[in-house]
Amino acid sequence: MVEHLRQIQRGLDQEYQSDSALRNKIINACNNVAAFSLAALQPATAITSLINNIHVAIENSEIIARADKIEPIDQIDKSSEEEINSTLPNLPQIHFTP
């Protein structure tokens, strides 16, 4: 995607050929995409950092989606809470609110 944007960018006016212009366009494009929300909240100053943040956001979104398919958060019940807390006695107690 970035390479494609860079190719397009070369044909634009001079003011749109900078890395900051490309970075801003990528951030604006990502703002309304749920999987990219983390990357948009912590926008990096360099393109490479921004792309890395986007990759991490996508990975995290996929992990959350897979975990939610296994056991949706709203289906965790009292027995799960008790099981978790009994297995980890030295840690602060976990309480789920559906």
Residue ranges per domain, the chain? 2-71
SS3 11: coil
Least confident of 1-10, 50-59, 69-78: 69-78
For the chain, the average pLDDT equals 74
What residue spans of the chain are helical by DSSP H?
A: 2-10, 19-30, 37-41, 47-70, 78-87
Q: Which residues contact 56 (CB under 8 A, 6 or more apart)?
A: 38, 39
pLDDT band at 88 (very low <50, low <70, confident <90, very high): low
pTM beyond 0.75: no
Higher pLDDT, 89 or 13: 13
Residue given tokens 């912590």 in the structure block: 42
- Alpha carbons 62 and 58: distance in angstroms, whole number: 6
Q: Which residues contact 93 (CB under 8 A, 6 or more apart)?
A: 85
Residue given tokens 């996929």 in the structure block: 62
